[in-house]
Structure 1
Amino acid sequence: MVQHLHARLVCSSCKGELAQSDTSLQCHRCLATYLIENRYVSMLDRREQVDRPSDWNRKEGEIRDYSEISNSLALSGIGRFATFLNYGYVSTGNEQHAVIEPDDVWNRNSVKLLLEVVGRTTVREQEVIDIGCGRGGNIAALHKYFKPLSIVGLDICPANIAYCSAKPRLTESFYLVGDAENIPFADESFDVVLNMESAHAYPNRTRFYEEVYRIMRYGGVFLYTELMLEEEVVQNVRLLEEAGLTVIRNQDVTSNVLLSCDENAKQRTGAQGIANNANASTTIGDIHDFIALPGSKKYEEMKAGTRQYRMMNLVKR
């Protein structure tokens, strides 16, 4: 682990100090125990199963779905290339914010989505956390194009973190299993917080936004994308502002995302594509809707305007 970031780890639940042994971290205050796995630490407090059973059931569903996706990608033989699962972005005539064009071929649209949300935000020599980091595609791209001082990947799915941790690791990054509503870092630990296409799965949106505010330094930036129902947009902006964040960009990029879904369809429905893998299709349900293939419910809702893909930048002042 990056030592200065490791020193900022706190108890997920009470934010108390942690004592480390060879196999675990234990909170001095509430005695929560977190296991140290082979390549990473799991910072999930399983007591939430008792305290908030309905929330935990929803989170377990997400863990199960993404574990099955990870397994399916490994079985398909393309797992090492599939570092992104986002919808991606294709430029149109609307306002563009990226100052860099991606040179990736395999994941070009997904990288473009990241570069657009970053825009002109200063990332170089900053300390970054990617909440809901998935399979690590955003982290690799951030290192490639922006050279942050350090970056943490946090995801609730152990299969995602195991995949990320098994890859050759840059010395200035590390990954851990954790909950976006209970982030295991001390106050004001990061300059930049990234969250892309993940918050829809969080049972308590208010807790997530408050945690983002807590771990950000003053002057820090929250880079945020999410597919929202039209009526949720105003509500989510209100919750972000109530958490203390100031919105400096709130852009509807649905048209760009739809174009990317069109372009991605052939690859994702091909012989080795995720939508053509029976294992994922049977466990996740409607895999076409999950990745917003043309004709799916999410795709058609975006096309009709009842769902909007919002790209936001917010600051802590």
Structure 2
Amino acid sequence: MVQHLHARLVCSGCKGELAQSDTALQCRRCQAAYTIEHRYVSMLDRREQVDRPSDWDRKAGEIRDYAEISNSLALSGIGRFATFLNYGYVPTGNEQHAAIEPDEVWNRNSVKLLLEVVGGTAIRERDVIDIGCGRGGNIAALHKYFKPLSMVGLDICPANIAYCSAKSRLTEASYLVGDAENIPFADESFDVVLNIESAHAYPNRARFYQEVYRILRHGGVFLYTELMLEEEVVQNVRLLEEAGLSVIRNQDVTSNVLLSCDENAEQRTGAQGIANNANASTKMEDINDFIALPGSKKYEEMKEGTRQYRMMNLVKR
């Protein structure tokens, strides 16, 4: 796995060339070291703990929350099926973009969300990275429906990447621990960047958008969804454009996501559902809000219109 990725990786911090030993990758320029685990490599730049402690504290909280969710899913016995944590999408009368209809029974709404953000984007025989890949559902669905040339799943939570690496049998897919604000790939490494319901957790949004622009090839596409406060929508579009990305689609699909949250509620609160098990076995403050169950703060804000679920396609000209 590491050998397959090594030629494409660079230092997360300075983007310098890496040298490989049996247990680590080391930057030839700044001497930063990255550990090689059994099935994956961790490309987190730990110097951020000193340089930007408040940012790191927020990221450490995300790592902890997702690790607890991963553990609770494993204890519940449904971990192997729970490859998606996104809110999902149910069609309404608004404009639809998916060129394919999912045939899944389990996780159907979540796969539909992915297919909607992909729309007519060319994926086949292209290099794709899923930033904030979670438990690998997007990577598996992209392979099933589009057959990319290569796929990389990057996530800041080691528990997510350990799960993906152990479960995946796809030779086209690789997984690594990494930071969306310090992406460990060289300039113009990918044709498509995917980011679904993850950027809300990034302390420096502008830096993330700049990294997306850097790793995209010219003509490459950024497929992006996020639940944003109403007042953040214009600000985030401005930051995307300042990073050099051109918006070709910016759609409010809140109504579709709310319908999916309604449909998912029974499954996610059942005896083996994520809400029931995570509330019992984790220290997360509010798992109901995390997955936007009906009645939760995020769900009600979507209903009131103070939060919007935006689905965007952007291109690097």
TM-score range, shorter chain: over 0.9
What residue in structure 1 maps to residue 178 of structure 2? 178
Q: Map 1:197-276 to 2 at 5 A.
A: 197-276=197-276
1:99 maps to 2:84: no
What residue in structure 2 maps to residue 70 of structure 1? 70
What residue in structure 1 maps to residue 316 of structure 2? 316
Which ranges in structure 2 are unaligned for 5 or more consecutive residues?
Answer: none
* CA deviation vs aligned residue, 1:125-147 (integer Å, no higher than 9, x gap): 00000000000000000000000
* CA deviation vs aligned residue, 1:10-45 (integer Å, no higher than 9, x gap): 000000000000000000011000000000000001
* CA deviation vs aligned residue, 1:101-122 (integer Å, no higher than 9, x gap): 0000000000000000000000
CA contact (8 A) 1:130 1:193 kept: yes
- CA spacing shift, 1:280–1:51, aligned 2, 3 Å: farther
What residue in structure 2 maps to residue 140 of structure 1? 140
CA contact (8 A) 2:72 2:281 kept: no
What residue in structure 2 maps to residue 24 of structure 1? 24
CA contact (8 A) 1:2 1:171 kept: no
The 2-side partners of 1:315 and 1:125 are apart by 18
CA contact (8 A) 1:2 1:173 kept: no
What residue in structure 2 maps to residue 89 of structure 1? 89
- CA spacing shift, 1:281–1:253, aligned 2, 3 Å: farther
Q: One-letter code of the match for 1:121?
A: T
Deviating above 3 A after TM superposition, structure 1's stretches of 4 or more consecutive aligned residues are 2-5, 278-282
Q: One-letter code of the match for 2:128?
A: V
1:59 maps to 2:55: no
CA contact (8 A) 2:2 2:41 kept: no
The 2-side partners of 1:99 and 1:187 are apart by 30
What residue in structure 2 maps to residue 80 of structure 1? 80
CA contact (8 A) 2:69 2:282 kept: no
The 1-side partners of 2:135 and 2:211 are apart by 22
Which ranges in structure 1 are unaligned for 5 or more consecutive residues?
Answer: none
CA contact (8 A) 2:278 2:287 kept: no
- Count of matched residue positions in the alignment of Structure 1 and Structure 2: 317
The alignment partner of 1:284 has SS state of: coil
Q: One-letter code of the match for 1:50?
A: V
Provide the TM-score with structure 1 as the length reference.
0.98
The alignment partner of 2:283 has SS state of: helix
Provide the TM-score with structure 2 as the length reference.
0.98
What residue in structure 1 maps to residue 35 of structure 2? 35
CA contact (8 A) 1:2 1:172 kept: no
The 1-side partners of 2:281 and 2:42 are apart by 28
The 2-side partners of 1:83 and 1:278 are apart by 15
Identity over the aligned pairs, expressed in percent? 89
Q: CA deviation at 1:169?
A: 2.2
Q: CA deviation at 1:279?
A: 5.1
The 2-side partners of 1:159 and 1:45 are apart by 17
CA contact (8 A) 1:191 1:219 kept: yes
The 2-side partners of 1:278 and 1:107 are apart by 18
CA contact (8 A) 1:274 1:280 kept: no
The 2-side partners of 1:278 and 1:5 are apart by 34
What residue in structure 2 maps to residue 122 of structure 1? 122
- CA spacing shift, 1:171–1:273, aligned 2, 3 Å: same
* CA deviation vs aligned residue, 1:268-299 (integer Å, no higher than 9, x gap): 00001111115566511111111000000000
CA contact (8 A) 1:69 1:280 kept: no
Q: One-letter code of the match for 2:242?
A: E
* CA deviation vs aligned residue, 1:65-119 (integer Å, no higher than 9, x gap): 0000000000000000000000000000000000100000000000000000000
What residue in structure 2 maps to residue 46 of structure 1? 46
Q: One-letter code of the match for 1:198?
A: S
Q: CA deviation at 1:2?
A: 7.8
* CA deviation vs aligned residue, 1:238-275 (integer Å, no higher than 9, x gap): 00000000000000000000000000000000001111
